[in-house]
Structure 1
Amino acid sequence: MSRRRLLIPASMAALVVILFLNGASGTLLFARAQADPLAKVDAIVVLGGEHDGREAYGVGLAEQGYADTVLLSNPYHGTDAVMAEACQPRSDIEVICKAPVPGTTRGEALMARALAEARDWNSIIVVSWRYHLPRARKIFNECFASPTRSVVMRDVPRDYPFSVAKWQYTYLYQYGGWVKAELQGRCD
């Protein structure tokens, strides 16, 4: 058999192994990521992403008494209807809508840290997707947390009815983001 004829089956087998490992490890690391128990904090930080109920969940936690302030990451354009509604002033809680710079999880952690320093926040709840929690926890631990500041990680309470292909992409994206966070290091 020619070398070229062997290369195609070997490449296909390698791809199957890579996809299997990505799916299995991603399921364990990301899809089954554990949220922290809720606790009263100084502010709730809702990370940007798809409008999957996270804005309402973060505001709802504040309405339940977990914090008096909600920081909504708002990297969206001014015509975003969900954010226009979520950013409306309220009488019972303070809602801050702000665009992170850069418009990444790291930018959101830096934005939260700047507000914590200005407002004497010692603790926050961070709201994101369940599968984003491990990477968001790493970034907030490196860019926000300190001996006097702590982070509670919470996922949006919802199901993720993704196809196998969407899960594969999601896990690969999270691994890529993790590598980027490792390369960037601490935010000092």
Structure 2
Amino acid sequence: MSETDSAPPPARRRRRRRAVTAVLALTLAAASATIARLFVWPDLPPLPARADAVVELGGPGERRPVALDLVRQGRAPLAAISVSVDEVDTTWCYKGRLDNVPVTCFHPDPYTTRGEARAIADMARERGWRSVILVTTPDQASRAILRLSRCYDGQIFVATAPLPWRQWPAQIAYQSGATVKAYTAETSC
């Protein structure tokens, strides 16, 4: 029996190739839909008329203008802003005002979403906050809610800030890994 005698007929190879292609296409479509739902268009509750604080999480995108605008609209009496080590000693942090908006700055340790969740929960206990509006980008929204809900029993709402399109690929890759980590390796506050 020669090698060509044991090879599948061309019709069977085509069917197998089509089946593999179909499975790959369906897998890609399902993954794309999941990514879009989690990171591009997350399912978020509507913002309340009033909350105890607007909390800006650190990260890319135009978060600060959104946070300050929410306070100006009367959604909360102040903005709590997660700042890097470089920003802790800025004049506006020290004075507690930025563009005529009352602010409080905090530097979480570690400077991650998990660290921010712990810091927000501590501030909420100290200040009696029962509801917060987080300001982040759409790609981080679901994970931010998950992280904060593990540390804080109050109501959590999210306002999203725009993320430049050129940053989306890197952010989706990062958020995918961070979300898996949040659901597997770091499941507590």
Q: Please report the TM-score for the alignment, with normalisation by the length of structure 1.
A: 0.74
User: How far apart are residue 25 of structure 1 and its match?
Assistant: 2.6
- Identify the structure with bigger relative contact order (alpha carbons < 8 Å, sequence gap 6+): 1
CA distance in 2 between counterparts of 1:169 and 1:56 reads 23
Query: Does 2:187 match 1:185?
Result: yes
**Does the CA-based 8 Å contact 1:46-1:128 persist in structure 2?**
yes
> Secondary structure at the residue paired with 1:97?
strand
User: How far apart are residue 159 of structure 1 and its match?
Assistant: 5.6
Change (3 A) 1:75 1:24: same
- Stretches of structure 1 lacking an aligned partner (at least 5 in a row): 1-12
User: How far apart are residue 53 of structure 1 and its match?
Assistant: 2.3
The equivalent residue for 2:131 is 123
- Stretches of structure 2 lacking an aligned partner (at least 5 in a row): 1-20
Query: In the TM superposition, what whole-angstrom CA distance separates every residue of 1:29-61 from its partner, at most 9, and x where no partner exists?
Result: 2111133312111111100012x3211210110
Please tell me the root mean square deviation across aligned C-alpha atoms, in Å. Answer: 2.8
The aligned runs of 1:6-85 (5 Å cut-off) are 22-39=31-48, 40-50=50-60, 52-78=61-87, 84=90
> Secondary structure at the residue paired with 2:150?
helix
**Does the CA-based 8 Å contact 1:22-1:172 persist in structure 2?**
no
The equivalent residue for 2:5 is none
**Does the CA-based 8 Å contact 1:71-1:97 persist in structure 2?**
yes
User: How far apart are residue 174 of structure 1 and its match?
Assistant: 1.2
Q: Please report the TM-score for the alignment, with normalisation by the length of structure 2.
A: 0.74
CA distance in 2 between counterparts of 1:161 and 1:181 reads 25
Return the letter of the residue paired with 1:45.
V
CA distance in 1 between counterparts of 2:73 and 2:91 reads 19
Return the letter of the residue paired with 1:104.
T
Change (3 A) 1:173 1:141: same
Change (3 A) 1:133 1:75: same
Structure with higher Rg: it is: 2
Percent sequence identity over matched residues?
Answer: 29
